[in-house]
Structure 1
Amino acid sequence: MKQKSQPKGMYILAFTEVFERLSYYTLSFLLVLYASATVENKGLGWSNERALALVGLYTMAAYTLPILGSFIADRFIGRYKAVILGGFVIILGHFLLFFSDYSNFFYIGLACVASGTGFFKPCMPALLGQLYSPDDLRRESGFSWYYFGINLGAMIAGISSGLLLQHFGFRVALASAGVGMIFGMIVFFAGRKHLVLDKVIRKSKHDEKNHQPITRKQKKALISLLIAFVFFAIWAIIYNIAISGTLTLFIENQTNKTLFNYNIPATFFQSLESLTIISSTPVITYFLAKMALRNKYPHFFTQMNFALLLCSISLFYFSYLAYIGQNSLTGEKPFQYYEIAFFIILFSVSETVISPVMMSAISLIAPMKLKSLFQAFYLATFGLTGIIAAKIGAISLEFPFKTFLTLSFILLIGTVLYFFLKGKMIKTAMEAAKEQAALHYGSKK
């Protein structure tokens, strides 16, 4: 039996997301370097701790504002228009960042990018989920390809921001992603005919399916989803430490980055994360498709368990590197570029699995009228854990071995606990999915 190809709307959304993530990660990669660089080097001259706090605050804003953005989208303007509005505000923010020498423009620009993300980010996966019926096996592969687009944008951001910083300085590098965002919004608008354009959710006799009361089975499934959120939050703390400001400072200040007499920009290492995800996504989706044809497709909660285990292994590896580094007597930088690269690759495979799985789970389990809101909570998890990660990251710069070893054991214990919980979680999720299929699409039980 041949599997159907993906809907064209998936490619439109994934391509648009490339440029939104180019915007976000350009700032995410550069902020800690800009804030911690000396004034003589056109930076803000802040301490590492204060620079990490800025990154944490920006991350929190960019990932918690989607709660408000999704509410406005669902209740007032619709998801499609919310994406258009968010894209415009992001573009405005980047052009204001070109004048970052003036502190007011810098902070207003950051606020615009974070606010635009609040409208843009939760509505894109919600629009993607609308392209599939609840029993469509293409759903998780579609979200994996969408996540491919996210990481293509992040990879480009790591390379372009590093090169622009080397040759043109912080102002041009910070503002550059606005140009790409313009192109992305043109593609999104041009491809709107391939999307399922939603209507604003209002109480109406003619639109009762979005206002059905939440059933008992759906409530049980939501509890399972919230449990998954708890474990995802633990993973997200590691993500914000490993792939955000803390690791950037480790790479910039404590890693030998010289390769063939070339000093590798720190942001290039962040591109390695995205390159790993881009490379592994087709492989993972291929095997998932093969397993689906054999009726052996692993449930998304099972896939999440594997991701948590892999993340735990990567943390133990970094703890080992930190232990070797703190006992080094050479006086040189304790980390080598290839050691950091291997850690990023190992961790990134866990990300390849867990992030699209969470988006897919939300699109399937969350009630129709709450899908954008739950996607916003998914994003808010990154934001709220970003503040926690900034605090832990500052400690890890001083005590790397103890900090990462502690995190390793916490995640390992969580992985084992999740293993014993996931059976019940899978059962409730499947029951709710069948009920939603019957309720919203007229499927037979």
Structure 2
Amino acid sequence: MTDSTKEKVSASVPQTGFFGHPRGLFTLFFTEFWERFSYYGMRAILVYYIYYEVSRGGLGLPEPTALAIMSIYGSLVYMSGIIGGWLADRILGTSRAIFYGGILIMLGHLALAVPGTVYMFFISMVLIVLGTGLLKPNVSSVVGELYSEKDERRDAGFSIFYMGINLGGFLAPLVVGTVGMDYSFHLGFAIAAAGMFLGLVLFVSTRKKYLGLAGTLVPNPLSPQEKKKVFGILGLCAAIIAVLVAIAIPAGALTFDSFITLVGILGILIPIAYFVVMYKSSKTTAVERSRVLAYIPLFIASVMFWAIQEQGSTILANYADQRTQLNWAGIELSPAWFQSLNPLFIIVLAPAFAWLWVKLGRRQPTIPRKFSFGLLFAGLSFLVILLPAYWGGPDSLVNPLWLVLSYFLVVVGELCLSPVGLSATTKLAPAAFSAQTMSLWFLSNAAGQAINAQVVQLYSAENEMAYFGIIGAVSIVLGILLFAAAPKIQNFMQGVR
């Protein structure tokens, strides 16, 4: 969209009505709240469902396999944002992409709610991956459309939106986690499906009145001839992939290990391809090219951050189940509850960060330096886990407060990086690639988890000091380097702060 079109869209949205922000933020806040409730509720119990024995209601797969599946699944969820962003930019528009994505997510959770086999599990994963790819990047993109380009409320608005995400993420492990762990995994998945249904109802019933033109325009639509050509190519590619899979699996060429490697390679190559296409496109202006270059180190920093943060649902979830005192202070803790810590701390701290950025105004740290703080705190969140391992060894159960501290530190880093990254993406994105650039932002999470799929299999209680120490130290070193390079990166942003 052109700058004038963006201004027209933001002008169509009621600019007050939700804590001093555009009224459309209410619609997007609660749509994402219910989507995240369903997603994080499912994720809170999924790793346990995969590796718990069949007698305990699980699938009975080995623990290293379960951890790798969780990372691959998380990577594909964010990688599918490429499809969702492209469809929104070229065919559907963001509003319709959100609606169709919500339907697929709900169907995926319903598939998990039906007791079945490993095959039913993988069918549900495909539905949720595709649905999240359609919904998640496009909700965030519409948030950016609510504000004019120079509106200083934008960063604060994204922080409020981010708090809504985490409110759903906080409640989900407590509700879905308790039901799934204490009663039935499948009943827990059914509750997750109901959450997505409520989000769809709210979105459909309020979008026309509160969102105005936001999400309704297709920024870079395909011509009828282009549509015919694209659909033909997509159909051919789908047929070729189906044939190759049908041949490769019986021949033993497509195994779980080879699939992990493939996703890891794609997690790195796809973002590189996106940067090249956006930079070289004739629709990208000289100023936008400079901003694309500035975005690259921020993307790399984000990959490192999410590689640590997303281990909360894999390594730290397993750590909570196997290495933590679950009978503590007279309370019987569920390992799924620990996944509420991250969103709980965000709910508590996000308003303070939103206030701080507004209060500081133009005196606040630059975007690259906020990212560097995010990496520093992420690294510290892993280094603190070294202490109980050093003092107690690999055989003793760890006081749960160490996990609480680790989650707290990574949340401080997350609030320096994630909502700021969402906002920076909408500012730095070339106009012709607005939704797709938001998909690129989520690809940093996909790349981090694709790397994790290889890394998490190296973890064991015996080598946990080396595991947490090396990863934490790498993150801190990258944070220091980014802080030093911040002024140079800021110059390439061409006036964006």
Scaled by the length of structure 1, the TM-score of the pair is: 0.89
What CA deviation, in whole Å up to 9, does each residue of 1:27-62 have, x standing for no partner?
Answer: 222121011101111111111111112112211221
1:127 aligns with 2:194: no
* Shift in Å, 1:279: 0.2
Q: Which among 221, 236, 260 is matched to residue 202 of structure 1? A: 221
Matching of residues 208-357 of structure 1 within 5 Å: 213-241=283-311, 243-292=312-361, 295-326=362-393, 331-333=395-397, 335-357=398-420
Report which stretch shifted further, 159-168 or 129-138: 159-168
Conservation of the 8 A alpha-carbon contact between 1:220 and 1:428: yes
Are the structure 2 counterparts of residues 153 and 190 from structure 1 closer, same or farther at C-alpha, using a change threshold of 3 Å? Answer: same
The amino acid of 1:342's aligned partner reads: L
Aligned-partner SS, 1:111: helix
What CA deviation, in whole Å up to 9, does each residue of 1:345-396 have, x standing for no partner?
Answer: 1111111221111111100011122121111122122123213213322322
* Shift in Å, 1:99: 1.0
Looking at structure 2, the residues matched to 212 and 53 of structure 1 have their Cα atoms a distance apart, in angstroms, of 40
Report which stretch shifted further, 416-425 or 100-109: 100-109
Report which stretch shifted further, 51-60 or 96-105: 96-105
What CA deviation, in whole Å up to 9, does each residue of 1:192-230 have, x standing for no partner?
Answer: 1222133122379xxxxxx98322222111111011101
Looking at structure 2, the residues matched to 26 and 39 of structure 1 have their Cα atoms a distance apart, in angstroms, of 21
Aligned-partner SS, 1:256: coil
Aligned-partner SS, 1:133: coil
Aligned-partner SS, 2:460: helix
What CA deviation, in whole Å up to 9, does each residue of 1:289-348 have, x standing for no partner?
Answer: 2112xx423322222222222222222212223322327xxx532x11111111111111
Conservation of the 8 A alpha-carbon contact between 1:83 and 1:120: yes
Conservation of the 8 A alpha-carbon contact between 2:305 and 2:374: no
Looking at structure 2, the residues matched to 188 and 369 of structure 1 have their Cα atoms a distance apart, in angstroms, of 26
Conservation of the 8 A alpha-carbon contact between 2:68 and 2:452: no
1:363 aligns with 2:426: yes
Looking at structure 2, the residues matched to 377 and 203 of structure 1 have their Cα atoms a distance apart, in angstroms, of 20
Looking at structure 1, the residues matched to 171 and 215 of structure 2 have their Cα atoms a distance apart, in angstroms, of 29
Conservation of the 8 A alpha-carbon contact between 2:93 and 2:217: yes
* Shift in Å, 1:402: 0.6
* Residue of structure 1 equivalent to 2:5: none
Q: Which among 26, 35, 38 is matched to residue 11 of structure 1? A: 26
* Shift in Å, 1:19: 1.0
1:407 aligns with 2:487: no
Conservation of the 8 A alpha-carbon contact between 2:110 and 2:193: yes
The amino acid of 2:301's aligned partner reads: F
Aligned-partner SS, 1:176: helix
* Shift in Å, 1:188: 1.1
What CA deviation, in whole Å up to 9, does each residue of 1:44-85 have, x standing for no partner?
Answer: 111111111211221122110110111111111111000000
The amino acid of 2:465's aligned partner reads: F
Conservation of the 8 A alpha-carbon contact between 1:31 and 1:51: no
Are the structure 2 counterparts of residues 346 and 363 from structure 1 closer, same or farther at C-alpha, using a change threshold of 3 Å? Answer: same
Q: RMSD between aligned alpha carbons?
A: 1.9
Looking at structure 2, the residues matched to 21 and 381 of structure 1 have their Cα atoms a distance apart, in angstroms, of 19
Q: Which runs of 5+ in 2 are unaligned?
A: 1-18, 224-280
Q: Which runs of 5+ in 1 are unaligned?
A: 205-210, 435-445
The amino acid of 1:198's aligned partner reads: T
Conservation of the 8 A alpha-carbon contact between 1:22 and 1:156: yes
* Residue of structure 1 equivalent to 2:485: 421
The amino acid of 1:298's aligned partner reads: P
Looking at structure 2, the residues matched to 92 and 203 of structure 1 have their Cα atoms a distance apart, in angstroms, of 29
1:26 aligns with 2:41: yes
* Shift in Å, 1:248: 0.5
1:174 aligns with 2:189: yes
Are the structure 2 counterparts of residues 324 and 99 from structure 1 closer, same or farther at C-alpha, using a change threshold of 3 Å? Answer: same
* Residue of structure 1 equivalent to 2:233: none
1:191 aligns with 2:206: yes
Conservation of the 8 A alpha-carbon contact between 1:16 and 1:188: yes
* Shift in Å, 1:251: 0.5
Looking at structure 1, the residues matched to 215 and 465 of structure 2 have their Cα atoms a distance apart, in angstroms, of 50
* Shift in Å, 1:106: 2.3
Aligned-partner SS, 2:384: helix
The amino acid of 2:64's aligned partner reads: E
* Residue of structure 2 equivalent to 1:88: 103
Indicate the percent of aligned positions where both proteins have the same amino acid.
Answer: 27
The amino acid of 1:202's aligned partner reads: P
1:42 aligns with 2:57: yes
Matching of residues 62-73 of structure 1 within 5 Å: 62-73=77-88
* Shift in Å, 1:190: 1.8
Looking at structure 1, the residues matched to 470 and 377 of structure 2 have their Cα atoms a distance apart, in angstroms, of 16
Aligned-partner SS, 2:433: helix
Are the structure 2 counterparts of residues 164 and 306 from structure 1 closer, same or farther at C-alpha, using a change threshold of 3 Å? Answer: same
* Shift in Å, 1:173: 0.9
Looking at structure 1, the residues matched to 396 and 392 of structure 2 have their Cα atoms a distance apart, in angstroms, of 9
Scaled by the length of structure 2, the TM-score of the pair is: 0.80
The amino acid of 2:429's aligned partner reads: A
The amino acid of 2:352's aligned partner reads: V
